Amino acid sequence: MSILSDLRFRVRALFYWRAMDGELDDELRFHFEKEVEKHRAAGLAEEEARRQARLAFGGESQVAEDCREARGIGLLESVFRDLSFALRQLKKSPGFAATAVLTLALGIGGVTAVFSVVYAVLLRPLPYPQANRLVVLHEGLQHLFNEADLSAPDVLVYQRESRAFTGVAGFIDQGYDVTGAGEPFRAQAERVSAAMFPVLGVSPLMGRTFTRHEDENSAAVAVLSYALWKDRFSGSANVVGRTFDLDLRPYTIIGVMPQGFETPAGMGAVQTHDLWVPMSLTPTEKAAEADEFDYGVVARLKAGVTMRQALEDAQRVLKIIQAKVSDAHLSISMRGLKEQTVQDARPLLRTLLGAVVLILLIACANLANLLLVRAAGRRREFGVRMALGAARRTMLRQLLIESLLLSAIGGAAGLGLAAAAVHWASRVLPDSLPQLGEIAIRWPVALLAAGLVCATGVACGMAPALASAKAEVLDALREGGQAAGQGRSQHRLRSTLVVAEMALAMLLVVGAGLLLRSFARMMETNPGFQPDHVLTADLSLPTESYPTQEKVDEFFSSLAQRVKATPGVEAVGFASGLPLASDYSSRAFAAEGYVRPQGESFLLVSSSFVDANYFQAMRIPLIEGRYPDARDEQPGAPLTIAVSQSYARRFFGGRDPVGMQVKCGVNYANKMPPMTVVGVVGDVKPNPVDRFQPMQTYEPIAQAAADLGPIGNRIGVISDMDVVVRTAGDPIALEATLTREVHQADPTLAVSDLQTMEEVASSTEAPRRFNTWVLTSFAAVALALALLGIYGVLAYSVTERTREIAIRMALGATRGDVEWRTLWHSVVLGAVGVAVGLAASMGLTRYLASLLYEVKPMDAPTMTGAAVVLLASAAMAGWLPARRAARVHPMEALRSE
C-alpha cells in the first residue's frame, strides 16, 4: 500500500511537476501571507510585517528545492526538469540555439557521412568470406613494367603448378552482343575460370556455377548477375536452363548470382558485370607466351599458408614458366586483394577525412565560443540565482544538460544530414571508388557519431559551466555584471578560439584553392584534338558474322559512306580507341637508328589502329609529312605508321622523322617487318588530362595483321572500333541517324557508348570535379563557421563595452573612430588567423600533391588569394558589429546603466 502510494506520488511528481511546482508556490505564498497577517494583527506596520515574515521564511527557492527533494525527486525527474528548463532557455535565444545546432550538425553530419564512405571503402572487409586470405598476382616484364596482369598461358601454369592456394582463378573482361533476351544490347561480361566462385567463396542464388570440365571445353554456359536476371528475365524462377545468344552463339543459363555479388576487378576500377562465362582460353590465347599481360588472377591462400610462403611458391612456379620463355625476363608479385582495391582511392579519402576533421575542430571551437559568450552573458542571472540559494551543483548540472541537449539536437540533425549526404554520395561519387554500392550509414559510424556528440557536448559545455560556477556571487552582481579580470581572460580565450578557427579555415581554403586551380588548369589543357561537334559510339562486330579483317573493314567503310551522306556530317572516322578514355593498348615500338643508352628502360606508347579519316574527324593537327590515307588501305601497300610529335622528338631527335622506319617490339634488331613513318601528328592525351600521358602511334587498321609479321595472326581480327563523326551542327541530333544506319547495315548489332566527345571528356573530368567540389564546399562551410565565430566575439564585445564606447564618444571620439576600432579588431583577429593558417598550410599542402595537376603545393597565387578571401571575409564579419558600435548613443547608453 505504502509502496504503491509512494510510486503513484513519484509518477505524479514526474509527469505533473510543473503543476506541482505551481501548487508548491501557491502553498508557500499562502503561508507567507498568513505570516504577514499575523504580524499585522500583532500591531506591526505593513512594511515591517512583511520584512519579519520574509526573515522567518528563509530562502524561498531553498525551501522549494527541499520540498521537491522530499517529494522524492529521483535523478530521472531532475534530469527531466533540467531538460525542460534547458529547452525553455534555448527557446529564449533562438539565434544562439540555431547557430549552435547548425554548427554541430555540419560538424557531426560531415564526419559521419565521410566516415561512412571511408568505412565502406577502406575499413569494411571485402564482401567475400575471409577476404583477407584473397590475393592477386601480378607479372612484370623486365624494363617494361612491374605490375601488369598475367599472360593467358601463365594463368594456366599457375593453376596447375602452385601449391599455396586452394584455387587460382583467372578473369578478363569481354563485351558481348546479347540477343534473345529482349532488345539486343551490349553486355559487360567477364570470362572467369571455373575456380573463381569457389575461390571467392560465394554460392549462386539459384542454379550452379561452371565446372572445370565446362571451362576447359568451351561450354556455352552463362551465370547471370542478379541485376541482369531482374532486368531482362524479370526475376523469373525458371530462368535456369533457358538459352540466349552471346555474339550470336547460343548460351545456356546455368545460374544466377546473389544480389550485390561482384568479382574483383583488375587494377584500378571496379566494374559491374552483367554475366559471367567460362574463361575457356582459345588456342591463340594459349599461344601468347610472354604477351598480352591482360588476364587478372585472384587466388585464396590455403589454411596456414603465410603471404611470404605463398610468394615463395609463386616464384617457384615462375621459374617453370621462365624455363620455357628464355627471351623474356619475368617477375611475379603478390598483394592482398583489399590492399589493391583501396589503393587508388586512398589519397582522396585521406584528404576528405582531413577536411572533415578540420571542420569538426572548427565546429567545436565555434560551439565552445558560443557557449562561452552565452555563459558570460548569463553571469548576472547565475549570480542572482546563487544569491537566492540555488546550489552550484544544480547550476552546473543545468549548464551541462543544456549543452548535452544542444549536442543531441545537433547530433540528430547531423545524422539526418549524414543520411542524406550518404544517399546522395552513393549516386554522385565517381565509379573509381570501389564498393560504392556498399556505402550506407552503419552502426560503427552511428556509434562514432554518438561518441562525437557526447564528447563535443561535454567538452564544450563543461568549460563555460566551470567558468561561470567559479564566478563569485558578488562579482556577478556588481553593477554591470562584469568583473574586469574575468572578462578579460575570457575574452582572450574567445579570441584565441577565433584565431584557431580562422587558421583552420585558412587551411581548407588553401586546399580548396589548390584543387580549384588544378581543375582550371585541367580545363585549360588542350587535349590535342577538337572535342566539340563530335559524336562517338562503340561498335563490336561478332567474329561469327565477320570472321576476317576484310569483312570488318568492308562493314565499317560502307557504314562510313552512309553516315557521311547525312547532311551536316563533315567526316567519319574509326579508331580502336578514343583519346582521354584510357582506351589504348600499351606497346613498344623500336625506332630505326635509336640506340637506347645503357640502363634506360623501354618506353611503352599508346598504340591505336585507325582508318584514313580518323584524323580529320578528330581534327588532330598534322605537323609533318601526311596523314595515313586511302593509299595505305590498298592490299599489299607498303607498311606505314604515323607517330606523335613527342615520339618523333624522343626517338628521332634532330633527324627528319618522315621516311624513317620503326618496328613493333623493344629492339629494332628483331625480325618484325619495318613500318615507314609517313607523318607526324600533334600530341593528344590518351588518358584523362590530369594523368600521365604516353606518346602515341597510329597504324592503319588495314595493315594491323601485317605490322606484327610472324605473330600477326595471333592478334586475330580487330573488330571492336569506335566510330567518330564530326558534324557541322549539334552532334546529339545525329544520335538517331547513326543508330538507324548501324541497324540498317546489321540489325543484330548493338550500338554502345553513344556519346559526344565532350561527354567523354567531361566524364574523365568527373573524379577531379568531384574532389574539387567537395573540398570547396568544405572550405565554404569552414569559412562560414569561422566568420560566425568572429562575428559572435565582436558582437558580444560591442555589447559588453557599450558603456566604454559611450564614454569615448562623450569624450570626443567620432563615430568613424569607433567603427574603425571595431573593424580593426576584426581584421587583426583575421590576420593572426591567416598568418597561423598560412604557416600550417606550408607544412601540410604537400600531402595534397598527388591530387594536384600542374599546380605546386606551395602555389603563391593560391596562398595569396586565400589570405585575401579570409581577410575580406573577416572585415565583412566585423562590419555589422562595427556599425552597431558606431550607432551607440552616448547619453542613452550612459543613462541606461
554 belongs to the binding site for other proteins (CB under 8 A): no
Shortest Cβ 20–other proteins spacing (Å): 9
- Give yes or no for a contact between 196 and 214, defined as CB atoms under 8 angstroms apart: no
Amino acid at 841: S
- Separation between Cα atoms, residue 170 and residue 322, nearest integer Å: 19
Q: In degrees rounded to 5, what are phi and psi of residue 87?
A: -60, -45
Q: Which of 25, 27, 532, 656 forms a contact with other proteins (CB under 8 A)?
A: 27
User: What is the smallest separation between the CB atom of 388 and other proteins, expressed in angstroms?
Assistant: 14
Q: Which is nearer to other proteins, 52 or 530 (CB)?
A: 52
> Taking the complex as a whole, how short is the minimal distance between the CB of residue 18 and other proteins, in angstroms?
16
Residue 58 vs 593, nearer CB to other proteins: 58
The CB-of-21 to other proteins minimum distance in angstroms stands at: 12
CB of 391 to other proteins, least distance (A): 15
The residue whose grid cell reads 574603425 is 820
Q: CB–CB of 154/288 below 8 Å?
A: no
Is the separation of the CB atoms in 125 and 338 below 8 Å? Answer: yes
Site stretch for other proteins (CB under 8 A), options 31-39, 89-97, 252-260, 477-485: 31-39
Q: Which one of residues 14, 21, 40, 67 is an interface residue with other proteins (CB under 8 A)? A: 67
Stretch that binds other proteins, among 69-77, 437-445, 686-694, 885-893 (CB under 8 A): 69-77
Give the nearer residue to other proteins in terms of CB position, either 71 or 392.
71
Q: By the 8 A CB rule, do 293 and 333 touch?
A: no
CA dist., res. 737 & res. 871, Å (int): 56
Q: Please provide the size of the chain in residues.
A: 897
φ, ψ dihedrals at 483, nearest 5°? -90, 130
- Residue 387 C-beta: closest distance to other proteins, Å: 17
| Phi (first) and psi of residue 478, to 5 degrees | -55, 155
Check binding of 66 to other proteins (CB under 8 A): yes
Is 35 an interacting residue with respect to other proteins (CB under 8 A)?
yes
Please tell me whether residue 41 binds other proteins under the rule CB under 8 A: no
| One of 72, 268, 416, 653 touching other proteins (CB under 8 A) | 72
Of 41, 42, 70, 75, which one interacts with other proteins (CB under 8 A)? 70
Q: Are 614 and 724 spatial neighbours (Cβ–Cβ below 8 Å)?
A: yes
Residue among 36 and 421 whose Cβ is closer to other proteins: 36
Nearest of 77, 34, 32, 79 to residue 55 by alpha carbon: 32
Rounded Cα–Cα distance for residues 696 and 78 (Å): 77
Does the footprint of other proteins cover residue 595 (CB under 8 A)? no
CB of 59 to other proteins, least distance (A): 8
Distances (CA, A) of 769 to 518, 520, 775, 839: 10, 10, 10, 27
Nearer to other proteins, 388 or 523 (CB): 388
CB of 12 to other proteins, least distance (A): 10
Q: Which is nearer to other proteins, 1 or 237 (CB)?
A: 1
Give least dist CB 26 to other proteins, A. 7
CA distance 244 to 228: 13
Binding segment toward other proteins, per CB under 8 A, in 67-75, 109-117, 120-128, 280-288: 67-75
The distance of closest approach from Cβ of residue 481 to other proteins in the complex, given in angstroms and rounded to an integer, is 30
Kindly tell me the burial class for residue 29, based on how many C-beta atoms sit within 10 Å of its own C-beta (0-12, 13-18, 19 or more).
exposed
Query: Closer CB to other proteins, residue 80 or residue 226?
Result: 80
On whether the CB atoms of residues 626 and 700 are closer than 8 A, the answer is no
By the rule CB under 8 A, 48 interacts with other proteins: no
b/e burial code for range 77-115 (CB count within 10 A of at least 16 → b): bbebbbbeebeebbeeeeebbebbbbbbbbbbbbbbbbb
Report which DSSP code applies to 823.
H
In whole angstroms, the minimum distance from the beta carbon of 55 to other proteins comes to: 11
| Residue 892 within binding range of other proteins, rule CB under 8 A | no
Query: Which stretch of DSSP H or E encloses residue 134?
Result: strand 134-141
Which are the contacts of 252, defined by CB distance < 8 A and separation ≥ 6? 220, 221, 222, 241, 242, 243
| Distance of closest approach, residue 19 Cβ to other proteins, in angstroms | 12
- Residue closer to other proteins by CB (options 38, 743) is 38
What contacts 138, CB < 8 A, 6 or more positions away?
146, 147, 148, 149, 150, 332, 333, 334, 335
Is 57 near other proteins (CB under 8 A)? yes
Closer residue to other proteins in complex, CB, 62/601: 62
Question: Which residue, 67 or 206, is less far from other proteins as judged by CB?
Answer: 67
54 binds other proteins (CB under 8 A): no
Decide: is 6 part of the binding site for other proteins (CB under 8 A).
Answer: yes
Give me the least distance between CB of 56 and other proteins, in Å please: 7
When asked if residue 23 is in the footprint of other proteins (CB under 8 A), the reply is: yes
Give the dihedral sign, CA 316/320/323/325: negative
> Does residue 46 touch other proteins according to CB under 8 A?
no
CB of 492 to other proteins, least distance (A): 43
Q: Which residues contact 62 (CB under 8 A, 6 or more apart)?
A: 389
Cβ atoms of 435 and 121 closer than 8 Å: yes
373, exposed or middle or buried, with CB in 10 Å at 0-12, 13-18, 19+?
buried
Rounded to a whole number of angstroms, the minimum distance from the CB of residue 42 to other proteins is 13
The single residue among 14, 44, 63, 248 that binds other proteins, judged by CB under 8 A, is: 63
In the bound complex, what is the minimum distance in angstroms from residue 80's beta carbon to other proteins?
17
SS3 content of the chain, % helix, strand, coil (to 5): 55, 15, 25
CA distances from 798 to 97, 421, 794, 806 (A): 21, 38, 6, 11
Decide: is 69 part of the binding site for other proteins (CB under 8 A).
yes
Contact with other proteins (CB under 8 A): which of 56, 123, 728, 733?
A: 56
What does DSSP assign to residue 121?
I
306 Rama sector, left if φ>0, alpha if ψ -120 to 50, beta otherwise:
beta
Count of residues touching other proteins (by CB under 8 A): 29
Tell whether residue 10 is a contact of other proteins (CB under 8 A). Answer: yes
- For other proteins, which is the closer residue by CB, 12 or 631? 12
Q: How far is the CB of 71 from other proteins (least distance, A)?
A: 5
Beta pairing class for 296-301 and 165-179: antiparallel
- Provide the 8-state DSSP code for 389: T
Candidates 14, 21, 28, 271; binder of other proteins (CB under 8 A) is 28
The C-alpha cell of 866 is what? 586565400
Residue 16 binding other proteins, by CB under 8 A: no
Q: Distance between CA atoms of 438 and 426, rounded to whole angstroms?
A: 9
- Region of 64-72, 330-338, 435-443, 555-563 interacting with other proteins (CB under 8 A): 64-72
User: Which residues, other chains included, contact 400 with Cβ-Cβ below 8 Å and sequence gap of 6+?
Assistant: 458, 461, 462, 465
Residue 72 or residue 659: which is nearer to other proteins going by CB? 72
Which one of the spans 63-71, 352-360, 472-480, 748-756 is the region binding other proteins (CB under 8 A)?
A: 63-71
Span interacting with other proteins, options 52-60, 327-335, 410-418, 658-666, rule CB under 8 A: 52-60
> At a CB cut-off of 8 Å and minimum separation 6, what does 133 contact?
300, 301
State the nearest-atom distance from the C-beta of 40 to other proteins, in Å.
13
For residue 637, give the DSSP letter.
P
Of 32 and 847, the one with the shorter C-beta distance to other proteins is: 32
Residue choice 22, 58, 258, 653 for contact with other proteins (CB under 8 A): 58
Name the residues that contact other proteins, by CB under 8 A: 1-2, 5-6, 9-10, 23-24, 26-28, 30-31, 33-35, 38, 56-59, 62-63, 66-67, 69-72
